[in-house]
C-alpha cells in the first residue's frame, strides 16, 4: 500500500496519494458513511478525473450508504431484476464467487456495458468478503494506450467505429468458463444487444482521447467482417494492456474502487480457487461515446 500522504493544497479536504505511475490514487481522511458536503464531493470528483480510478480503505458501508455515495456523481443505473437478490436495492449488484465456482465476474480485460447505447460512466465496487490471497483487480489507462500509438495508427483509427455486443459475456455464462477460442463469430450467436461506438473516444469531461475497444464486447469494426477485423483488434487489445499502462489493486474487506469506464479497462483476476469472495457494485449512468 502507498505511504499515507498529508492533505495537499490542491485537495484541501481530503488526502490523495498516487497509487501507481500510470493511474490510480488512494483517498483518505474522508468517511464515506457520513453525508458529504459539496466541497468534499468536488475534490473527490477532481481526483477521480485526474487519476481515473480512486481507492478507499476501511469503508464498511451499508448498501444504502454505498448508493448515497454513488448518487453524488450522477444517476445510478438499475440492474436487471434477474441479477438482484430478493429485497435488495435495485441499484446494487451482488458479485459473488463461491468456493465451488469456476467462473468469476469480469475475468477478462473489458470496460463495462459497452454494448449499450450509453455505457456506464463509472463503477463503484465495495469488497464485503475477500480471499486471504488473490482476487486482485487490474486497471489499464486507455488515455496512455491511445497517446502512445504512432501518428499513422492514430490516423487509421480516426473516424473508425466498432461493433460492441454482449455475445461473449452470455457465451461465458452458458459455458461456465472463459472461452479459449477468440472466435467472435461463435460469440455472436449469443448476442442480444449490439451498438456501434467510436474506436477512439473523447472523454466528455477531460477532453482527452482514449482507446475504446475491449476483448469481451468488441466484435468487429463497423463495415468489416470479424475475420478482417481480428488482426488489428488483437494488436489493440495487447497494446492497450501493456504493463506500463496498468496498476493492480489488492482488496481488503471494506475497500472501495471507483473507476472511470470511459477511459479504463479492468480485469478481475480468478486466482483464488476454492475460496469465497463477495462484492457489492453500483454503476453510474453515462452518455453516448463520441
Active-site residue list: 110, 112, 266, 281
User: Which residues have a Cβ under 8 Å from the Cβ of 71 and sit 6 or more positions away?
Assistant: none
Distance CA 13, CA 7 (A): 7
Which residue carries 464485503 as its cell? 128
> What are residue 53's DSSP bridge partners?
259
Distance CA 240, CA 215 (A): 10
> What are residue 127's DSSP bridge partners?
279
Specify whether the backbone of 189 is left (phi greater than 0), alpha (psi in -120 to 50) or beta: alpha
Gyration radius (Cα) of the chain, Å = 19
User: Which residues have a Cβ under 8 Å from the Cβ of 215 and sit 6 or more positions away?
Assistant: 108, 109, 110, 168, 233, 237
Distance CA 39, CA 80 (A): 34
Distance CA 200, CA 156 (A): 11
Backbone φ and ψ of 94, nearest 5°: -90, 115
Amino acid at each position: 500500500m502507498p505511504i499515507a500522504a498529508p492533505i495537499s493544497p490542491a485537495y484541501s479536504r481530503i488526502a490523495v496519494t498516487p497509487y501507481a505511475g500510470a493511474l490510480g490514487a488512494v483517498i483518505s481522511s474522508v468517511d464515506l458513511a457520513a453525508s458529504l458536503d459539496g466541497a468534499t464531493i468536488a475534490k473527490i470528483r477532481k481526483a477521480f478525473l485526474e487519476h481515473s480510478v480512486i481507492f478507499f480503505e476501511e469503508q464498511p458501508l451499508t448498501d444504502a450508504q454505498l448508493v448515497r455515495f454513488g448518487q453524488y456523481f450522477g444517476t445510478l443505473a438499475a440492474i436487471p431484476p434477474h441479477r438482484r437478490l430478493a429485497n435488495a436495492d435495485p441499484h446494487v449488484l451482488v458479485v459473488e464467487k463461491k468456493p465451488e465456482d469456476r467462473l468469476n465476474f469480469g475475468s477478462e480485460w473489458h470496460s463495462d456495458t459497452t454494448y449499450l447505447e450509453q455505457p456506464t460512466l463509472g463503477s463503484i465496487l465495495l469488497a464485503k468478503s475477500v480471499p486471504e490471497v488473490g482476487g486482485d483487480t487490474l486497471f489499464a489507462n486507455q488515455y496512455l494506450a491511445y497517446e502512445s500509438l504512432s501518428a499513422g495508427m492514430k490516423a487509421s483509427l480516426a473516424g473508425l467505429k466498432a461493433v460492441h455486443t454482449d455475445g461473449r459475456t452470455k457465451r461465458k455464462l452458458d459455458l461456465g468458463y472463459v472461452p479459449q477460442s477468440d472466435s467472435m463469430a461463435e460469440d455472436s450467436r449469443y448476442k442480444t444487444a449490439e451498438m456501434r461506438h467510436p474506436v477512439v473516444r473523447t472523454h466528455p469531461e477531460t477532453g482527452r482521447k482514449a482507446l475504446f475497444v475491449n476483448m469481451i464486447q468488441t466484435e468487429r469494426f463497423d463495415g468489416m467482417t470479424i475475420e478482417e477485423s481480428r488482426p488489428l483488434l488483437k494488436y489493440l487489445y495487447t497494446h492497450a494492456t501493456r504493463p506500463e499502462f496498468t496498476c493492480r489493486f489488492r482488496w481488503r474487506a471494506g475497500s472501495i474502487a471507483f473507476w472511470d469506464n470511459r477511459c479504463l479497462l479492468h480485469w478481475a483476476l480468478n486466482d483464488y480457487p476454492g475460496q469465497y469472495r463477495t462484492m457489492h457494485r453500483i454503476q453510474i449512468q453515462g452518455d453516448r461515446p463520441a
